[in-house]
Structures are given as structure tokens and as C-alpha cells.
Amino acid sequence: MAFDAIETPFGKVDKIVGGSATYVGYAASNFVTPIQQVSIVGYDFPKEEMDEMKKRGMQLEGVEIVPDKKSFFWSGKYHLDMNTRDTLITDLNVLADFNPVIPDSYQGAEFLMLGNLSPNIQSSVIEQLKVRPKLIVMDTMNFWMDIALDDLKKVLKKIDVLLVNDSEARQLSEEISLVKAARKILAMGPKFLIIKKGEHGALLFHENHVFCAPALPLEEVFDPTGAGDTFAGGFIGHLAKTKDISFENMKTAIIVGSAMASFCVEKFGPERLKEITKKDIDARLQEFVSLAEFELDLV
Amino acid sequence: MAFDAIETPFGKVDKIVGGSATYVGYAASNFVTPIQQVSIVGYDFPKEEMDEMKKRGMQLEGVEIVPDKKSFFWSGKYHLDMNTRDTLITDLNVLADFNPVIPDSYQGAEFLMLGNLSPNIQSSVIEQLKVRPKLIVMDTMNFWMDIALDDLKKVLKKIDVLLVNDSEARQLSEEISLVKAARKILAMGPKFLIIKKGEHGALLFHENHVFCAPALPLEEVFDPTGAGDTFAGGFIGHLAKTKDISFENMKTAIIVGSAMASFCVEKFGPERLKEITKKDIDARLQEFVSLAEFELDLV
């Protein structure tokens, strides 16, 4: 839970609420509650945002509030094609000392989403849970592959689903072909691998199966910040709601995640996620069905 | 109908049969015959290849054989990622004087596939047909947008389906968003637009509808040469077989085209296309169904 400053070809905001846990929480709470947040913020994180989160079924007992420090702050600028961005500022602030403590009330959680953070912190959260969750989903990024690859590989052995983008999958596996990359990554520990390809959708790999999820072609991507976390929130939210972690249901969960991400990019930060209703979500899901369905008679 | 020399990270061939019409013909003849080829070759084009084509239901009356010149020759080298290539040699040879004459026996053709060539030659073929075909599909490339944009725009008014890749769609429309690009291109004439995205599949646009076709994630792409033409051949082959040019059936046709293209890249040139059976095609189509299908209950 943090602050971002974002500049896109369509406008800029100087300070807006962001952070993985924020996006995951806003997305997932459409499908299941309670969402038990684990995070750290400073004295500057708005009480109104926390109230809004609670109203939506997020529990914040696991969110440490540091009274004399500021929240994490990231500032970035997107290029014209919106696929690449430059990081302008990264102020770790409270995140420099983040050492999450899982509250007793969170014990027994069945679905765990580990946002992108240092592998050691991700690992510490898993270790603190007395009963292993039914499903552990983990996000990471190239930064941790560069500076903490060994630690990252240790966490990979403890999780069920890994989320990365295509270039990260190639970096982690040292393979160009995504099929070969997936095979190598699945051998590192996770039973499921999701490769996010931005405007080209996502691939889900499991054993010898693969599912290709489309991305909705959008007229305008206003701000891509948080789209990956929102995808993760929709994905695990659907799984937690249905309590079904089969490959078949993960395919559906990826469509749900994609639909949530398609809302996220329509406005700055998590704004749009706070506006949408179940009816909006249903209509968007229906668009995904139309987008991908076809009939086939064999030759 | 031509010759190619191809170098990929997996090997090289000095001279192999190629050319748009060759790939389109080998792909489409799995679905419908006769295929009436219009092309030009030199004295060096192998008689055995022509015999093979005839055996598969391709008629070659519209293929001019120039006795004192060589066939078109292209030589290229693919980069490691196989998505980009350098052209090493382009010897126009017979193609420099290509002025196709449609044989009387071809009159009445219901489905016309215009391979990538100068817009004026594409236009001349349309003009020579006394009865307008039920469906005209056209391929083109950035080269013609660079040097013959006005001519290209004139042909666009006469056709039904345009095939381009994503960067060509952006160049033709001067739009970054593919949704906006599609709207502009559809306003230029074609009723349907297919945007090919290589390993990311393809998009079909028609009025306000869009269909997103997946590409089969492949372990190895051995040689991408001809994949686009093979896609086109499978696409129009399915439409000609079913004689149904609705949006719904075009979605299926794109899957058929994608399946054929996925075979094409498995070996050099059109080699693999000559080996496969209807059973192979059916099995590959079934893979596309598994790849893309998901179930969804609304929220």
C-alpha cells in the first residue's frame, strides 16, 4: 500500500494511492471477503482510503502504520506506446524496514497472494502461516531475478502459481521459446505458470496443458499502473470464491483477472476499480466470451 | 511462385520453392479444389513442383512460364527471436514484367485471394474478372504503403478482407491503438480486417465486432517463411469450402488459417505442408479448441 506519481500521454497525477496490495484488494473484494491485507504504510497514508477498504471487506490488522515515516513512493512516466515506462523516483521509506507479522486472526487463510516484493519477505509470510494455504500465488519481477535469484528460486519451491510477464519468463528460464521457458519454470517448483503478455493476453501452463487467454483490444489505455496486480486480484478472488483450484477453473480465473485489469487501465490508479459494479463486471466478462468464442467442425 | 534462400538459427537452405501463391495453394487445397493459380515463373521453376501442385488440385493455366528468365528469388536471414529478419537478396527476375492475364477458364471464380504484390497488379486481377467474386481477400505489406500508398488505397475500396500485421495496421492508419487503427482501415473500404500478430495470434475486426484468435504456443519455430501466406490459404480455403462469409464463419476460418500456419513453420519452406494429412489438420484444430475454450458463470 503506497503512493504513485504517474505521467502518461493522457495526463499526470502527482500523488495517488497505489501499491500491489491496494490493487489486489480492490479487485479481489468483488468476489470474496474478507481480504486480509498484509502491508506497511507511513503516517501519510489516508485514513479515508483505509475506511474505504474496510467498507469493501478488507481487514487491515496486518497493515503496520509507522508513525514517523512516509509511505513507499514510486514515480514513473509511460512512453507513447504505453508498453514501456521509465521509473523516475523510488522512495522506499517505510518499505526499507518491512518485516511483516501475520496476525493470529489471519491464521487459517486458504488463499495467499504474494505481491511483488523481495523473495525473503515473501518466504517469511509463507513460513508464518501455521497451516499451509490451499493455494499460494506469487508475483515477482526481473529486479529480483537480477539481485536475489537464489532466494527467488527457494520461494518458487514453496508456491503453487507463479505470475510473470513474457520477458521475465525468458530471463528466469534462459529460454526464448515460451513453451520451453514454461517447462523449465514448472520444474523449479510452481505447479502452474501464468505468463502475462499485456495487450496480447496471457498464457497458463500446467503439466502438458496450455491455455491462451485473450486481452480485450482497448481503444485507449489511460494508465496501465496496477493492471498486473488487478489481474492477480481478480484471478485469486475468483479461485477463493469458487474454492476450486483445478486447471479448468484457473482458465476461468484468468478471464476474470483479465476483465478486472481491463477496467483498471481506464483511469488513473485504482479509481476505476472503486466505481465498477457487479453488473459492469458481468458485462465485461460477456465481452470476453464474445471475443474468444468460435465454432469448429473438423475437416 | 518463386525461390527462397533461408537462414534461421536452426539451419539454412540455399534454394527452396516459395512464393505467396505456392503457400496459399498448398494450404487452401486441403479444403477446396480447384485452386486456380495466377503467377509467373522462369525456366528454372521445377516441373516436379508443378506436377505436385496439379496432383493437389491446383490449376496452372494462369501461371506464365518465361523461357529465357529466372524465377523471382528472395534470400533472408532470421534473427534469434525469429520475429525479425534481414532481406539479403531480392532478384525480381520474371516478376519485373509480371502482367497477369486471367484465363477464360478462371472466370466465375467465387473466392479471390490477392497475394502481397504491387497494388496495381492486384487491381488488374480484380478488373479482369467479369463477375465480381463473392469474396476478395487481399494481403499487402509496409513496402507498398511506403511507395504506392495512393494505389493501395484505391484497391482497398474494391476488396472485402484486408490482411496486415500489427505494425502495418498502425502505419496504414497512423494510429497506435489497434482498435482505432481498425476503425480507420475499415472506413477505407474493406468490410473485414485481420491483424496478424505472429506468436500472439490474430484479431478480426468487422463493424463493431472483434474476435481474438490465439496462436498455438510452439516449442520451436523452425522457419517462419510463408506462415502469413499459409494462414491466408487456410482462411480462404475454409471460406470457399463452406461458402459462408459471415463474421461467425470468418472466426472459424481464422482458426483454420492459424492451424495451417502452425504446420508451415515446422520445416523449411512448404515442406511440412506437403506432408500433413486431414487427420493431422483435425488434431491441430482440436488443439486450438483446447487452447482457447473456457467456461464462465457470471458474477
Task: Give DSSP secondary structure letters for B257-292.
Answer: HHHHHHHHTTSSTTHHHHH--HHHHHHHHHHHHHHH
Paired strand residues for A194:
A163, A204
Q: Are B219 and B230 in contact (CB under 8 A)?
A: no
Measured CA to CA, the distance from residue A209 to residue A226 in angstroms comes to 28
Confidence (pLDDT) at A84:
83
Give the gap in angstroms from C-alpha B69 to the nearest C-alpha of chain A: 40
CB–CB contact A212 B30 (8 Å): no
CB–CB contact A211 B286 (8 Å): no
Of the pLDDT bands very low, low, confident and very high (cuts 50, 70, 90), residue A297 is: confident
Which range is least confidently modeled, A9-13, B30-34, B194-198, B240-244? A9-13
Dump pLDDT digits (tens) for A141-152.
999 999 999 999
CB–CB contact B294 A214 (8 Å): no
Of the pLDDT bands very low, low, confident and very high (cuts 50, 70, 90), residue A23 is: very high
Of the pLDDT bands very low, low, confident and very high (cuts 50, 70, 90), residue B191 is: very high
Tell whether the model's pLDDT for residue B83 goes beyond 80.
no
Give the gap in angstroms from C-alpha A161 to the nearest C-alpha of chain B: 19
Pairing of strands A202-206, A58-65: unpaired
Tell whether the model's pLDDT for residue B10 goes beyond 90.
no
| % pLDDT > 70, chain B | 100
Measured CA to CA, the distance from residue A275 to residue A253 in angstroms comes to 21
CB–CB contact A285 B296 (8 Å): yes
CB–CB contact A294 B292 (8 Å): yes
Give the gap in angstroms from C-alpha A159 to the nearest C-alpha of chain B: 24
Q: Are A192 and A206 in contact (CB under 8 A)?
A: yes
- C-alpha neighbours within 13 Å on the C-beta side of residue A55: 7
Give the gap in angstroms from C-alpha B243 to the nearest C-alpha of chain A: 14
Measured CA to CA, the distance from residue B164 to residue B142 in angstroms comes to 9
Confidence (pLDDT) at B80:
80
CB–CB contact B180 A219 (8 Å): yes
Query: Considering chain B, what is the average pLDDT of its residues?
Result: 96
Buried b (16+ CB within 10 A) or exposed e, B90-125: eeebbbeebebebeeebeebebbbbbbbbbebbbbb
CB–CB contact B299 A31 (8 Å): yes
Q: What are phi and psi of B222, to 5 degrees?
A: -80, -45
Q: What is the chain A residue with the closest CA to B237?
A: A299
Give the gap in angstroms from C-alpha A60 to the nearest C-alpha of chain B: 25
Dump pLDDT digits (tens) for A25-35.
999 999 999 99
Of the pLDDT bands very low, low, confident and very high (cuts 50, 70, 90), residue A283 is: very high
Among partner residues B221, B252, B295, which is closest to A295 by beta-carbon distance?
A: B252
ipTM value for the complex: 0.90
Which one-letter amino acid corresponds to residue A183? R
Burial of B72 (0-12, 13-18, 19+ CB in 10 A): buried
Dump pLDDT digits (tens) for A174-231.
998 999 999 999 999 999 999 999 889 999 999 999 999 999 999 888 899 999 999 9
Dump pLDDT digits (tens) for B122-143.
999 999 999 999 999 999 999 9
Of the pLDDT bands very low, low, confident and very high (cuts 50, 70, 90), residue B81 is: confident
Cell numbers representing residue A290 in the block: 464474445
Q: Report the residue of B186, B194, B209, B212 to disrupt the A interface, i.e. the one with the largest count of A CBs within 10 Å.
A: B212
Question: Which residues in B lie closer than 8 A to residue A252 (C-beta atoms)?
Answer: 294-296
Tell me the average pLDDT across A43-53: 97
**B77 three-class SS:** strand
Tell whether the model's pLDDT for residue B274 goes beyond 90.
yes
Tell me the average pLDDT across A222-251: 96
Confidence (pLDDT) at A19:
97
Among partner residues A177, A215, A299, which is closest to B281 by beta-carbon distance?
A: A299
Measured CA to CA, the distance from residue A129 to residue A106 in angstroms comes to 8
Among partner residues A212, A217, A298, which is closest to B291 by beta-carbon distance?
A: A212
| Sheet architecture: strand order including A202-206 | A111-114, A135-139, A161-165, A192-196, A202-206, A209-213
User: What radius of gyration, in Å, describes the C-alpha atoms of chain A?
Assistant: 18
Among partner residues A219, A255, A278, which is closest to B179 by beta-carbon distance?
A: A219
Question: Which residues in B lie closer than 8 A to residue A278 (C-beta atoms)?
Answer: 299
Among partner residues B176, B200, B210, which is closest to A81 by beta-carbon distance?
A: B176
Cell numbers representing residue B127 in the block: 478488373
CB–CB contact A294 B203 (8 Å): no
Tell whether the model's pLDDT for residue A298 goes beyond 80.
no
Which range is least confidently modeled, A67-76, A233-242, B80-89, B152-161? B80-89
Measured CA to CA, the distance from residue B220 to residue B15 in angstroms comes to 22
Q: What are phi and psi of A171, to 5 degrees?
A: -65, -45
Confidence (pLDDT) at A278:
96
Among partner residues A199, A285, A296, which is closest to B255 by beta-carbon distance?
A: A296
CB–CB contact A211 B176 (8 Å): no
Paired strand residues for B36:
B59
Query: Considering chain A, what is the average pLDDT of its residues?
Result: 96
Confidence (pLDDT) at A80:
80
Confidence (pLDDT) at A226:
95
Confidence (pLDDT) at B62:
98
CB–CB contact A177 B292 (8 Å): no
Confidence (pLDDT) at B82:
79
Give the gap in angstroms from C-alpha A219 to the nearest C-alpha of chain B: 5
More confident residue, B82 or A262: A262
Question: Which residues in B lie closer than 8 A to residue A167 (C-beta atoms)?
Answer: none
Dump pLDDT digits (tens) for A115-169.
999 999 999 999 999 999 999 999 999 999 999 999 999 999 999 999 999 999 9
Confidence (pLDDT) at B6:
95
CB–CB contact A177 B219 (8 Å): yes
What's the maximum distance between 2 C-alpha atoms anywhere in chain B? Answer: 70
Give the gap in angstroms from C-alpha B291 to the nearest C-alpha of chain A: 5
